[in-house]
Each structure stands twice: as structure tokens, then as C-alpha cells.
Amino acid sequence: MTPPESSLGPGDRDDRAGALPALAWVRRAGAQDELIAEVERQVRRRRRRRLATVAGCTVLALAAGGFWFPNREGAAPAVASSTAAVLRPEWRRLADGSAVELKPGAEIDFDDQGPVRRVALHRGEAHFEVRKSDRPFIVEAGGVKVRAVGTAFAVQLGAAEVEIVVTEGRVQVARAETASPGPDGTPPSVPDLAAGHRAVLGRREGPAHVDELTPAQLASRLAWRVPSLEFSRTPLDEVVALMNRYGADRSGVRFVIGDPALHRVSLSGFLRADNSDGLVRLLESQFGVRADRSGGTITLGRAR
């Protein structure tokens, strides 16, 4: 059936006039079935492309850490029990008392023998919190040495570069092969890299590129260290306990449930443990919760 004129634009009417003889040819040739099959194939392709686009948007929402499925009171539960999972980097205590966080895929070896504590970073990225000692702490990655005594820093070994980000104290950075080592095994006269600064060195040659990071850039660069929380119909009191345990040190905020009725609220979704503002926005917009702030404490209650 020909569509009504109102559904067509000026250019469409010209196209339709030229298309009618072609359709008549299809009927004369008995090719209706082939035409219908081709149209169906085109529709399926377009539907798959739309679904792929929607899936891509969903992935972006998940990466932003704010994708939620609110569970209304009285709704039929999708699962028999609640679950919660903490997604975080691997944490290790080294033999000398230092701590290391390993981004997924990172590999290290630690040698605590002799006058120098040595770490070999074979792949990936790691953040070190070095315990103070008379013995230097040296991380070797891609022909680059990073020396510290008692400080905190991250080292990333890339395909072409080594990146060092200092989060506390100061470190020394140098190429392992370009200078005569001192008594402690590190090249002498290496400029210090202070907290909040980053150095990037090519694995083969070239000078170090040093820049200072803003607090926001530093937080973004090391966001992989912040635990992410995954909830599936998890009661609010359990959500609050996990946020307080894994996020309070970073966000400076602790949650308190001030109304027992809120224990009936449950959540499903993903959230960074330090995203206290995101949790508050969700509760206020979807569950009628009031958040009262006092210093570093947020008390949750029913909105009046």
C-alpha cells in the first residue's frame, strides 16, 4: 500500500515516483519472495546495530560507576538472597613490612636479601607503600630504577615507557645502565621526584618527562586502587557498612542509618567505594531518603 502524502517529504515523493516502476518489475518477474527476504535481512542488520549501540552505552554507564537497578519495597525479589562483592586490586604485605597493590595483570618479584630491598616489576602496574628502613627500597622496571626509603609511589611498565607517580614523600629515578651505581646500588645525583609529580621515561632512551598532577588528575590516574562495590539486592545497612569500610578513608565521609525503616531498602548495581555523593543522589532521588550532613558524617533518614 502506498503511504499517504502527509508521511512523505518533498524529496521522498520524487523518490517514490521512480521506485514504482521497479516494484512493478519485481511483480512481473515473480521476485516478491526474494525482495521480502532481503528487506527482512536489512531490518535484522539495523536491529543488531541498534542493540550494539545500546550495549556500548550501557558499558559506558557501568564504567562511570553509577549504573543502578533500584529495588522498590514490595517488589518481587529476583534472587533468593542478597549478595555483595568488593572488586579491588590484589594487596600484599612484603617480607620487609612494605605493602604493595597490584593492578590486575601485574607481576613482581621481591628480594629482601642483602643491603638493598629490590623489586622487579615484570609487567603491569603496582603501587608501593614503603616501610622505613636503613636499607633502600628499589623498584626496577624496563631498565629504570626507582629508589625510596619510606614513601609511597606507583610504577607502570608499558610497552614503550615506564611511568612513576609519587603519592607520598620523594623518590629518585634513573636509568639502570646510564650511570655508575653508588654503594647502595642506585645511580648518584638523581633529582628527587616529589609527591604529586609524575615522571615518564622511554624504556630504551631519552630524558625523563616530569610534570605535576592536580589532585583530580592524581585521583583519576590511580583510580584503579579504589575498590568498587557490586550489589545485588543488598540491604542498605550492608551497603553502608561496605562504603564505610572501603571508601571512608578516601572520601572523608562515613554513613549512619538514622531510621530503622531504611533497613528494608535494598540496592543492586555498581559503585566506587569513595563515591559517597553518588550514593546520596541515588537514595534521595529513588527512595525518598533524606541525607543530613554534619562534618564527616552523613545520617540517612526518611524524607519528611
Q: How far is CA 78 from CA 86, 106, 147, 220, 283, in A?
A: 21, 37, 53, 35, 20
Residue with cell 579491588: 88
| Bridge partners, residue 71, by sequence | 266
How far is 116 from 93, CA to CA, in rounded Å? 17
> Which of the two residues, 42 and 22, has the higher pLDDT score?
42
Residue with cell 613482581: 108
Q: How far is CA 60 from CA 122, 228, 273, 276, in A?
A: 30, 15, 18, 20
Residue 195 has pLDDT above 90, yes or no: yes
DSSP 189: S
The arithmetic mean of pLDDT across residues 80-92, rounded, is 81
Q: What is the pLDDT of residue 232?
A: 92
Question: Radius of gyration over alpha carbons of the chain, in Å?
Answer: 29
Angle between helix axes 32-63 and 10-29 (nearest 10 degrees) is: 130
Three-class DSSP category at 88 = coil
- Could you give the percent of the chain with pLDDT greater than 90? 59
DSSP 68: B
Q: How far is CA 220 from CA 45, 61, 72, 101, 226, in A?
A: 38, 17, 33, 16, 10
How far is 116 from 1, CA to CA, in rounded Å? 85
Length of the chain: 304
Burial of 131 (0-12, 13-18, 19+ CB in 10 A): middle
Model confidence at 268, in pLDDT bands (50, 70, 90)? very high
How far is 60 from 72, CA to CA, in rounded Å? 25
Provide the mean pLDDT of the chain: 77
Q: What is the pLDDT of residue 177?
A: 67
291, 297 Cβ separation under 8 angstroms? no
Phi and psi of 131, rounded to 5°?
-80, 135
| Bridge partners, residue 59, by sequence | none
How far is 237 from 259, CA to CA, in rounded Å? 11
Report pTM.
Answer: 0.63
Most confidently predicted of 67-71, 101-105, 179-183: 101-105
